[in-house]
Amino acid sequence: MTGGLLFLVASGLLGIFSGGGSVATQSHMAEVEIQGPILSAEPTLSLIEDARERPEVKGVLLRVNSPGGGVGASESLYKAVARLSEEKPVAVSLGDMAASGGYMVALGGDRIFALDSTLTGSIGVIMMSTGVYPLLDKIGVVPRIIKSGRFKDAGSPLREMSEEDRDYLQSMVDELHGQFVAMVAEERGMEPGEVRPLADGRVFSGSQARSSGLVDAVGGRETALQWLREEAQLGPEAPIRTLEAPEGWLRQVLPAGLFNWLQLRFAPEPRYLYQGG
């Protein structure tokens, strides 16, 4: 009796790890979601890499609903999606908004789908700095700054921004903007001169983006999924599984909107971020 039970258990485990029709190793598509401001490449980066490494994942549906965020995080995710698309088909489905860094990430996929009402584009860079020095002066607080070079505190809220500071920071923003334009041109098969008139920070509706060549087709999740099934050569019976990572403890304590607002406001730096509204 005991021997028979052990045999059944062993047979079951062997079936799972050998992929003999098991749910764990069945060919399927993976779905990865980028939701809200892009504050960090992780944990989404790990999910994308996991989908790339798993042989049972035959294609990936990337859903983007984001105004963008940090320049490094956005570029890291774009490169991860581009690596993935070299090995497996990647369909990108844009939600209400996929702007700036959100649009950058989408560029790494094989085909971009937008709703008619999707707000996308916003190809540009923004850097914000809030000066609190007038308030400090009123209450008698005198900041003391010790620095290794004249630009070390450029953009600091503790002092007035000089013209030299402004020129330096503007040159940084311009450099990042040029990189973004070149990226769009390469991925969308356009000339940089075609992209620049579209890269003044404005957002486009999905239909406008389609007419401008910034996205491939107008359609929602199901349209993107249908294309993906055809590219991955999987029938309608093949499942699609959402890849998710556990949230950090601070996100569990604070409402997501407040957490995102704090991150964006208290870490001033250049960003691929749409600031409308």
Q: What is the pLDDT of residue 138?
A: 81
Question: What is the rounded (10 degree) CA torsion for 204, 209, 215, 217?
Answer: 120
E-state strands within the chain: 28-35, 57-66, 68-70, 90-99, 111-114, 119-121, 203-204, 217-218, 240-242, 271-273
Q: Is residue 72 domain-resident?
A: yes
Q: What is the pLDDT of residue 154?
A: 79
State the DSSP H helix or E strand holding residue 51, giving kind and residue range, or none if neither: helix 44-53
Listed in sequence order, the residues at least 6 apart from 31 whose beta carbon sits closer than 8 Å to its beta carbon are 60, 61, 62, 63, 240, 241, 242, 243
Count up the domains in the chain and report the number.
1
Q: Is residue 117 domain-resident?
A: yes
Q: What is the pLDDT of residue 14?
A: 41
Of residues 101, 94, 20, the one with CA closest to residue 63: 94
Q: Is residue 137 domain-resident?
A: no
3-state secondary structure of 168: helix
Q: What is the pLDDT of residue 73?
A: 93
Of residues 168, 71, 62, 66, the one with CA closest to residue 112: 62
Q: Is residue 20 domain-resident?
A: no
Listed in sequence order, the residues at least 6 apart from 264 whose beta carbon sits closer than 8 Å to its beta carbon are 37, 39, 69, 271, 273
DSSP 8-class letter at 38: B
Of residues 242, 241, 245, the one with CA closest to residue 42: 245
Q: What is the pLDDT of residue 132?
A: 74
3-state secondary structure of 108: coil
Q: What is the pLDDT of residue 260?
A: 58
Q: Find the domain containing 43 and state its range.
A: 26-124+199-273
Q: What is the pLDDT of residue 18?
A: 38
Locate 36 and state its tokens: 């809200």
CATH of the domain at 47: 3.90.226.10
Q: Known catalytic residues?
A: 100, 152
Q: Is residue 150 domain-resident?
A: no
Q: What is the pLDDT of residue 5?
A: 45
One digit per residue, pLDDT tens: the chain, 277 residues? 444 444 444 444 444 333 334 445 789 999 999 999 998 899 999 999 999 999 999 999 999 999 999 999 999 999 999 999 999 999 999 999 999 999 999 999 999 999 999 999 999 999 887 777 777 778 888 777 788 888 787 777 778 888 998 898 899 999 999 999 999 999 999 999 999 999 999 999 999 999 999 999 999 999 999 999 999 999 888 999 999 877 665 555 555 556 555 555 555 578 888 876 4
Q: Is residue 62 domain-resident?
A: yes
Q: Is residue 203 domain-resident?
A: yes
Q: What is the pLDDT of residue 191?
A: 97
Q: Is residue 139 domain-resident?
A: no
Q: What is the pLDDT of residue 6?
A: 45
Q: Output the CA–CA distances (angstroms, integers) from residue 259 to 61, 71, 152, 249, 256, in the order listed.
A: 27, 19, 28, 11, 5
